[in-house]
Amino acid sequence: MRYSGWRVIREALTGHKGWGPVWRDPDPQPAYDYVIVGGGGHGLATAYYLAKEFRQARIAVLEKGYLGGGNVGRNTTIIRSNYLLDGNEPFYEFSLKLWEGLEQDFNYNAMVSQRGIINLIHTDAQRDAFTRRGNAMILNGADAEMLDRDQVRAIYPFLDFDNARFPIKGALMQRRGGTVRHDAVAWGYARGADSRGVDLIQNCEVTGMRIEGGRILGVETTRGFIGAKKVGVAVAGNATPLLPIAGCAIPSKCTCIRP
């Protein structure tokens, strides 16, 4: 079932009786090529792109609760590629381009709104820093605009430019930046993965991992043993209790990169 404006109108006129489930609710198979533990944004995105790129693979996502019910379900955040370092800017620009075509890709409203991102300038030193950042963005193929005080005032006349604790002197603007509803993104990835044959298995907690000779054989779950050639873990804060059962040490300090 594909979503469209015409489908919404049709269902509204017929009592919304034609809508079906967004994804299937399958029982787990005995074994898969890939098992991904964690049905949040990262786990579902991993399953989606695996299925998209490796179409014959048997893939399952195991979630102890419901899809998108963890950290991803509590966030609505900005999307942008306004970074300075050469190692960061191309990565985030590629990510922003994925966002721009994501809803059409998996036919689901992820509430992507490219309303623009403005970082206000309050000091001369900040202007110098944002000028360097804007130039880095442009050199890496992203859009960036430096706005002076009057240009910012024209967009936001209600701001206090003179009497505030930090007077506004300008801004760095990226018009392609915006906001996104993260739980909708998770559900969109779930829909896209399901349509490509991925089994999304909810209420299925992983309780152990079967490993022999240093190789993973599968996972023990509350719904029985599930064999797997490869297992990926995307469980955010639940990594602390989960990964030690696979013999993986959790570092006391780590650096996270968020797309």
Q: What is the structure's pLDDT at 252?
A: 53
Query: For the chain, which domains are there?
Result: 21-73+186-246 (3.50.50.60), 89-181 (3.30.9.10)
70 versus 144: the higher-pLDDT residue is 144
Is 91 a residue whose pLDDT tops 80? yes
Q: What is the structure's pLDDT at 242?
A: 84
CA 196, CA 246: separation in Å to the nearest integer? Answer: 29
Which residue's entry shows tokens 């893939």? 59
Using 50, 70 and 90 to split pLDDT, how confident is the model at 257? very low
- pLDDT exceeding 90 applies to what percent of the chain? 73
Indicate the average pLDDT of the chain: 90
CB 184 within 8 A of CB 108: yes
Q: What is the structure's pLDDT at 259?
A: 37
3-state secondary structure string, 63-122? CCCCCCCCHHHHCEEEECCCCCCCCCHHHHHHHHHHHHHHHHHHCCCCCCECCCEEEEEC
